[in-house]
Copies of this chain bind each other. A is one copy, B any other.
Amino acid sequence: MNSSLREFIKVMKALSDPNRVKMIKLLQQRVLCVCEIQEVLGLGQSTASKHLKILEEAGLITYSKAGQWVNYRLADGARNPYVANLLGNLRHWLEDDADVSALMTRLPEIKRETICRS
Q: Which residues of A contact B (CB under 8 A)?
A: 1, 3-6, 8-9, 12-13, 15-18, 21-22, 82, 85-86, 89, 92-97, 99-100
Q: Which of B4, B8, B93 contacts A82 (CB 8 A)?
A: B93
This chain's copy number in the assembly:
2
CB <8 Å contact, A94 and B17: no
CB <8 Å contact, B82 and A5: no
A8, A95, A96 interface centre (most CB from chain B within 10 Å): A8
CB <8 Å contact, B16 and A94: no
CB <8 Å contact, A4 and B97: yes
Which B residues lie within 8 Å of A97 (CB)?
Answer: 3-5, 8
CB <8 Å contact, B86 and A5: no
